[in-house]
Structure 1
Amino acid sequence: MSGRLKARDLGLVINTADPYSVEVGKFYAAARRLGPGQVLRVELPLKPVLTPDEFKSLQARIEHHFGAATQALALAWTTPYAVNCNSITGALALGYDAGLCAQTCAPSKLSPYFNASSARPYADLKLRPSMLLAAKDPATAKRLIERGVKSDHSLALRGGPPVNAYFVITKDRARSVRAALFPPPGLVRGVGVRVRVESTQALDGADRVLLYETGLPQVDKLDTVNWVPGALADHLTSFGGRLNDKGGQMNVLEWISSGATASYGTVSEPCSHPQKFPHPQVLLLHYMQGSTAIEAYWKSVAWPQQGVFVGEPLAAPFARP
């Protein structure tokens, strides 16, 4: 692991047609002290899914504005979150894949960023990972950003109590396909993380939670979880990345509302390919090594074309000052 992304490496995109985006983008730029040249203002349709032509226009604006120094992007909105069947974060990093939409259950592009050691993804791989500063409302988004900033350098401190990484096996066998990839339980010495592998439908009253990975269409009792700043959480299900979805399956904004700092979910039917979801051991390893939330999450997904990354990108609880 050679370094990590810093605020100077990040570009911020604000949708001027979206009051949420304008307010949250301004707050984020101040919180992470981004310079004027790091901010791009565009006008996007206020809808969940962009057409390929609408996306092409956004992509061109981004490529024109941001130079070689910009390694990753924060997108200051909740919608749009998709381009046809692709996630907007997947399309921006890997290019829009029209062919995938004919059969979304097929394998998708392998990300060259998967489990990579690079801290300069655009310089090394010509790929800019991105993450949505998405939440149910601006107030919740501001709390999310504050958690991310507060998390920096906060863990693996000498004498501090351990935090807990929960890997949950549910009765939903198809959605618990990642269980074979869960790390062994026990204390990870030197970083103060206790890995816990549990067989349950939902955690109830879990304390000092750094990581929560499970597989269900709906995760209950999130209001009982005590998160640490910088916590990561996701559930393997088909449509967790449909951020405007009011029914059927829980979307990942529920994790953010409950106090997690970053999450991930798919926007179109992925089937239960574990490669389309965060690899539990890769995610935890990169985060514990000092990566930011955007790096750890992006490096943990082998096939991210359909998955949207949500949260405060620069949260880095294990990074040293």
Structure 2
Amino acid sequence: MFKFGKILMGLMMASSAWAQMPHEVLVVVNRRSQASMLAANVFVAARQIPKNNLVYLDVPESAYGGSATITPEQFAKLIWEPANAAAERQGIAPQIMAWVYSVDFPIRVKTDASDRKQMSVGGMTFVRNQMPGLSLVEEGKYLSKLFAGPNQRLKLNLPGMSLGMNKNGLGMDAKVPPEAAYLQGGLGERMPLPSMMLGYIGEKGTDMQTVLDTITRGQQSDFRGQRQGIYFVQTDDVRSKCREYQFYPAVNELKQRQIEAVVTTNFPAGAENVMGLMVGAEKVDPSSVKSFAPGAMAEHLTSWSAEFQKPQTKMTEWLKAGATASAGAVVEPYSNPDKFPTARFFVHYASGCTMLESFYQSIACPLQSLLLGDPLAKPYAVPIAVKVLGADKLEHDFTYMVQAQSRASNVQYLYSFLFDGRLVKDVSEDFSFHVDVEKISDGYHELRAVAMIKHLVQFNASFDKAFTVNRLGRSVEVLPDVARLGKYEHGIKVRIGGGETPKMLKLVCGLQLLDEKVYERGAELVLDEQLVGEGPNRIRVIAVYADGMEVSSPPTSFGINFAK
């Protein structure tokens, strides 16, 4: 039904970079799955991700059903190549730092006949479709450049930092240990591509409501991190013993941040507001935990927790029980701790990193990992209030100004700007944005100002300023009366302002073209609900004039629920 509604811990930063932010996330959607579109729509609305950042792929059920396994050739053809082509076409490729897969995607890539040498879809994404030596994958000896230690190969405890720091570097004057010299200049073009999946609803996965609840819990968790409720559970199982050495050092690091974590031999059955849980066991009962706090991460180091045809307890049981994210292996990992999050996951999380950033800084070899949940949950981030000051209607050039405030003291703010969903002004200390009306079209526009704190973890917030330009007197407006044309189809009419009439009308959702028609008086565009999917949506009508100017209407927001 269609409804209208109008550290520095030994590192010294010499220069700045930007953090993982909503406009730096590419949301990958399977257009052949209504569930995939629903999850993506809810996530994008909850996280204020620009609609320009959605890419729609055609992945058949044969690829994500059953064991959800594809070949490397299928990964390239169905996912990697079309997603990157769409990002380039939409003008957002340079700003993307991470991918977020919606539901109904494959989870495993059959890179070898041997289960132990196969990779996850997230792993293939991470290496940008450049498969490493599979013996490194099997033995867990591939070492991620995002890993912040410690393990046998990187005997350091690097501080939590945002993805942009890894890519752009701390500056050549930054004091770093020799083993982490790459942090000075940054990884640049060698930067891997981390990803997460919003949920798994295939065999032995969760239902769709659990996926939506997980997104809600992630959003609710922001800036509300618990100061207790983190459990490291020890057992006699080798799955536990292989990473027990990490527990007490992590407890001590968390204590320095006034967060209480405990090492225990008792599973916290009946515990309330659990913020984190790590255990190593083949069988666990997540439902015995009375409640998880919003933003909680829980996982159990075991074989095949993300191989849904095997008998071990599945990682999805944590999400059903109320956790916001979990991690598992899509193959037999043989209790190799380098293939699972270290206990320092919670140290990075407590420093203010997002869920996704915390996972990738704590997994040395993430090439067989499936990471499920809200990637942008940030319970321990510092909140920032941002406001853009300026006019709502423009006929002449204008300069907008940004105000940023935070409870943090003695901080320096950096700013970046997006215009109509595209990054147009990189990070700088300049808190102003000048609009030259001669260079843009009449009609509706959006200016997003992003303010961030200059820090290893760059806490950030944004503000969207809507305004209209009236230089030539052209405008278009969606009329409120919507005609039902069929079960899923609705007729959309517009009002054209000014003395000129356009040549064409286009109905769009973000950059997705839904319908187009030659303009004539009373022209009706058709909205097919199935093209945009259930959940929160918004559409615009673009009037195309003879001189090529494309004039946008203000957006019309609505929700779709096929059950009604």
TM-score when scaled to structure 2? 0.52
Q: 1:189 to 1:39 in 2, by over 3 A?
A: same
Q: 1:221 to 1:107 in 2, by over 3 A?
A: closer
Matched, 1:113 2:162: no
* Alignment match, 1:271: 334
Q: 1:305 to 1:189 in 2, by over 3 A?
A: closer
Shift of 1:104: 6.1
Higher helix share: 1
**Matches of 1:104 and 1:302 in 2, distance apart?**
11
* Alignment match, 2:233: 168
Please, which of 68, 84, 88 is the counterpart of residue 63 of structure 1?
84
* Alignment match, 1:258: 321
**Matches of 1:179 and 1:22 in 2, distance apart?**
40
Matched, 1:320 2:388: no
Q: 1:5 to 1:98 in 2, by over 3 A?
A: closer
SS class of match (2:48): coil
Shift of 1:255: 0.7
- List aligned pairs for 1:191-230, cutoff 5 A: 191-200=257-266, 202-230=267-295
Greater RCO between the two (CA within 8 Å, min separation 6)? Answer: 1
Q: 1:140 to 1:113 in 2, by over 3 A?
A: same
Mean Cα deviation higher: 223-232 or 207-216: 223-232
Matched, 1:38 2:72: no
CA RMSD of aligned residues (A): 2.3
Contact 1:238 1:269 in 2 (8 A): yes
* Alignment match, 1:74: 100
Contact 1:266 1:308 in 2 (8 A): yes
* Alignment match, 1:83: 109
5+ residue gaps in structure 1? Answer: 157-161
Looking at CA atoms only, which structure, 1 or 2, has the larger radius of gyration? 2
* Alignment match, 1:159: none
Contact 2:254 2:350 in 1 (8 A): no
Q: Detail structure 1 runs of 4+ shifted over 6 Å in the superposition.
A: none
> CA offsets, 1:123-163, max 9 Å, x none?
6532221000004122111100000111111127xxxxx32
> CA offsets, 1:34-55, max 9 Å, x none?
2221000001132211111110
* Alignment match, 2:33: 18
Shift of 1:175: 4.1
Please, which of 205, 214, 228 is the counterpart of residue 144 of structure 1?
214
Contact 2:231 2:278 in 1 (8 A): yes
* Alignment match, 2:197: 132
The residue identity in structure 2 corresponding to 1:289 is: S
* Alignment match, 2:299: 234
Higher strand share: 2
**Matches of 1:190 and 1:111 in 2, distance apart?**
27
Mean Cα deviation higher: 78-87 or 47-56: 78-87
**Matches of 1:187 and 1:174 in 2, distance apart?**
23
Shift of 1:179: 0.7
Shift of 1:122: 5.7
Shift of 1:118: 4.2
SS class of match (1:254): helix
SS class of match (1:232): strand
Contact 1:163 1:193 in 2 (8 A): yes
For these two proteins, the number of residue pairs brought into alignment is 311
Please, which of 27, 37, 53 is the counterpart of residue 73 of structure 2?
53
5+ residue gaps in structure 2? Answer: 1-6, 8-16, 88-92, 111-117, 149-157, 169-185, 201-205, 384-564
* Alignment match, 1:292: 354
